[in-house]
Amino acid sequence: MPTPPTVSTLRELKASGYTPRSVRDEMRANLIAAMREERQLFPGIRGYDDTVLPELQNAILAGHDVIFLGERGQAKTRLARGLVALLDEWLPVVAGSEINDDPFAPVSHFAKELVAEKGDDTPIAWVHRDRRFAEKLATPDTTVADLIGEVDPIKVAEGRYLSNEEILSFGLIPRTNRGIFNLNELPDLAERIQVGLLNILEERDIQIRGFTVRLPLDVFFVASANPEDYTNRGRIITPLKDRFGSQIQTHYPRTIEHEIDITEQERDAFAADGIEVIFPDYMREVVAEISHTARRSPDVSQRSGVSVRMTVANAEALLANAQRRSVLTGEKLAVPRISDLPAIRPATMGKLELETFGEGRDDQVFDRLVGEAVRTVFLRSVDPSRLEMLLLAFDNGLTVTASDQASSFNYITQISAVDELREVVQSLGTGSSPAELASAVEFILEGLHQMRKLSRRVNDVGEVTYGR
């Protein structure tokens, strides 16, 4: 943690020339400075430069509370957390205050009394911007006490009167005063709790039981919701929707390149001792294309969405199976192949919601998604007309057996006589090691199968035989 300023009293704070400003003014000024310096404000966010981020910047400049609408896995929470970078690094508060009271304009009973008693000797504490952000996942059992506050029975038992404001215990939102509060999955909040947020978003005061506590809270409010839940009548009250200044729609990566960038950024880069991992570009594209295909598929519920987390999990599972093969075969190089794709089925189907169900339905949908993805990437990467000699060899009786546990050298002996294939493999940008050649050969053969140029038979142990 960086070292806070040394100012420790209100007198020193006044002498330093410090001028308090609202959290919105703070964020607005820091955003403008960052834009002028061309600083990246949301590291790790990909594909939003021309869509979401300009809208978010406009909302901040306008001083609007924001709600992000989007399906799961669209970086809504990461965007909200990234707003912390727009706060000043350090904020002076009245020492001991529960709600980050401004020393120049305290609002809580505790801070008012302390400033009245101590005057310029009021002790000052410094709060880092990381501690000025709070978030809560909205659930049906979330209470007013969680968000706003409650009468503290312990303080009552100690002898304080019910008319005394000191008996109040503040919730998350007041404790985030002069900061950013993020409420995830807003429609899951019970209606009576949603009503409790109305005054906070508009008049900026709170009411706890019989107390109307006029606290001019200075909170930048952020929320997130699934579009279907947000627009579904009865899931969110209309007056609450009306109080958000800006509604920003997030989206899934619109290009394969963005999907791959996010996957490479987020996936676990695990490694096994003595084994080097190479992830060919065409296999990265296949993994990303599976998710894009699922987002268009009528078999998959688009109301639930297809999270980028599925792409990340699939990449991790694919690499894990390639490394497992290297461990079992003793090879020093792990390169994912098409025959490794069945290993991603648990990761894929665990994150998809299907429109229809039935025996074997999961397998059919999975095979269809993978097949279409391979075909799409194959057509982008390979010119099928360059494989006429390979197809002629299959016409003359050539067969190739593939397996996720087969040694890479098996492929060399099977296709060594087809010189034309080597040129196509090289066009994929792969190296010349047996593991890389095996991966490229499987990709080409499966691509030809998806183009209906080759047949494919699978035996009981999962070995695949390609032929005509």
Nearest to 185 by CA among 250, 230, 241: 230
Residue 231 has pLDDT above 70, yes or no: no
In the block, which residue shows the tokens 């296709």? 415
Beta-bridge partners for 135 = 182
Positive or negative: CA dihedral 33, 39, 41, 46: positive
Token code pair at residue 420: 């034309």
Q: What is the pLDDT of residues 56-94, one digit of tens each?
A: 999 999 999 999 999 888 999 999 999 999 999 999 999
Q: What stretches of 166-273 show up as alpha helix (H) in DSSP?
A: 172-175, 191-201, 227-231, 238-242, 256-266
3-class DSSP state for residue 458?
strand
The length of the chain in residues reads 468
385/398 Cα distance (integer angstroms): 19
Supply the pLDDT for residue 195.
80
Supply the pLDDT for residue 161.
53
Token code pair at residue 201: 């978003």
Burial class (CB in 10 A: 0-12, 13-18, 19+), 150: middle
* Residue 197 pLDDT grade (very low, low, confident, very high; cuts 50, 70, 90): confident
Q: What domains are defined for the chain?
A: 10-247 (3.40.50.300), 256-467 (no CATH)
CA 206-208-214 angle, to 5 degrees, is: 35
Residue 338 has pLDDT above 80, yes or no: yes
pTM of the model: 0.86
